[in-house]
Amino acid sequence: MTNPVLVEVTRGAVIESVHRGAVSVFDADGKPVWEIGDTERPVFPRSAVKAIQALPLVESGAADAYGFGNRELALACASHSGEPAHVELASAMLAKAGLDKTALECGAHWPSNHAAEIALARAGGAPNALHNNCSGKHSGFVCTCVHAGIAHAGYVKSGHAQQEMVRDAMQAVTGAAHGVDNSGIDGCSIPTYAVPLKSFALGFARMATGRGFAPERAKAAKRLLSACMAEPFLVAGTGKADVALMQAAPGRIFVKTGAEGVYCAALPELGLGIALKCDDGAARGSEVMIAAVLAKLLSSDEAVAAKLSELAHPAVESRIGAKVGLLRPTAALN
């Protein structure tokens, strides 16, 4: 099955490039609400499932033990831009468990936020693991280990107790088997598992509603999604799509992007979970797709739908900032 073109990139009056993809929207009872393309095809969710991966941090009691509120939980679910607020908060989380950045095994990279990158260079600095977009998640991992009395060294590896906790949570929430055959290594060195796209839609419907979860898990899931919706900047960063999407209807939209063109999202008021994958892995394609899907699902709220529709039509600009084209969703997303 060939997935349909969901996004067009124009220049002048010509379609210059296109992005294909698949979209799945589920309710928490396991009923598909909207399906586009092949939603059975296995997809690595990458960072789009960080909120599920953070369940052990809350369920283990570590988050409470260290006094983590919305800000820390949002950062634990984040792919952040390495701005000072992100870096400082990750460091503070580690300090609560008596650790520092040397405990992180995610690797270092320059901040993805360009201003933060240039400022770091101008100050004569160099990036460390705290600047890694995943440093909040990894800080949550090692805090969970310390609280549970588990040696944190090697926490990124398959088979380590931390990754077993994460895998158990992922399997329970998505209902899909996470095994060796469908595993890969994520950019931050932890295992990631390719399962059918629709599993993530169902999983986030459950995360948003708690339906089918034990009370403790339902509470932890809602606490994590609420934290992200309360602190969208900490989930992403300046100018990021996830921030704009969540700010379009504060407290009503949860979204999280993942590398290679993935989005997971939830609309608690409708009890819906959403997952999508841009076939070619392009972030720009997936951003237009999720904005268009959310605009459609929230179309009864005209003001919100208008904001989301604007995010689904970003401009293509020249180097002097002239608008020379745009991205737009195709009719398949109407």
Q: Three-class SS of residue 321?
A: coil
- 282 is a site residue for a second copy (CB under 8 A): yes
Q: Rule CB under 8 A: choose which of 38, 279, 287, 296 binds a second copy.
A: 279
- 168 is a site residue for a second copy (CB under 8 A): no
Nearer to a second copy among residue 61 and residue 125 (C-beta): 125
- 108 is a site residue for a second copy (CB under 8 A): yes
- 102 is a site residue for a second copy (CB under 8 A): no
Least Å from the CB of residue 198 to a second copy: 17
Residues 6+ apart with CB under 8 A from 182: 42, 193, 194, 195
Q: How many residues bind a second copy (CB under 8 A)?
A: 52
- 261 is a site residue for a second copy (CB under 8 A): yes
Residue bearing tokens 């992200």 = 228
- 14 is a site residue for a second copy (CB under 8 A): yes
- 155 is a site residue for a second copy (CB under 8 A): no
Q: How far is residue 143's CA from residue 103's CA, in Å, rounded to a whole number?
A: 10
Tokens at residue 217, please? 């898990």
Q: State the Cα angle at 292 between 270 and 40, rounded to 5°.
A: 75
Q: How far is residue 256's CA from residue 264's CA, in Å, rounded to a whole number?
A: 5
What mask of x and - would describe binding to a second copy in positions 116 to 145, judged by CB under 8 A?
-xx--xx-x-------x-------------
Nearer to a second copy among residue 63 and residue 262 (C-beta): 262
Interface with a second copy by CB under 8 A: which range of 80-88, 102-110, 265-273, 302-310?
102-110
The residues facing 267 across adjacent strands are 272
- 247 is a site residue for a second copy (CB under 8 A): no
- 182 is a site residue for a second copy (CB under 8 A): yes
Least Å from the CB of residue 101 to a second copy: 14
- 324 is a site residue for a second copy (CB under 8 A): yes
Q: How far is CA 124 from the centre of its chain?
A: 31
User: Which ranges in the chain belong to alpha helices (H)?
Assistant: 50-53, 55-59, 62-65, 70-76, 84-96, 114-122, 135-148, 161-174, 197-209, 215-230, 232-235, 241-247, 283-297, 302-311
- 260 is a site residue for a second copy (CB under 8 A): yes
Residues 6+ apart with CB under 8 A from 270: 297
Element (H, E) at 274: strand 272-278
Q: Which one, of 1, 16, 3, 26, lies nearest residue 274 by Cα?
A: 26
Q: How far is residue 160's CA from residue 155's CA, in Å, rounded to a whole number?
A: 6
- 273 is a site residue for a second copy (CB under 8 A): no
Q: Rule CB under 8 A: choose which of 35, 96, 110, 252 binds a second copy.
A: 110
Least Å from the CB of residue 232 to a second copy: 24
- 1 is a site residue for a second copy (CB under 8 A): no
- 206 is a site residue for a second copy (CB under 8 A): no
- 18 is a site residue for a second copy (CB under 8 A): yes
Q: What phi-psi label fits residue 10: left (phi over 0), alpha (psi between -120 and 50 degrees) or beta?
A: beta
Residues of this chain that interact with a second copy (CB under 8 A) are 2, 9, 11-14, 16-20, 42-44, 105-110, 114, 117-118, 121-122, 124, 132, 181-189, 192, 194, 260-261, 279-282, 285, 318-322, 324-325
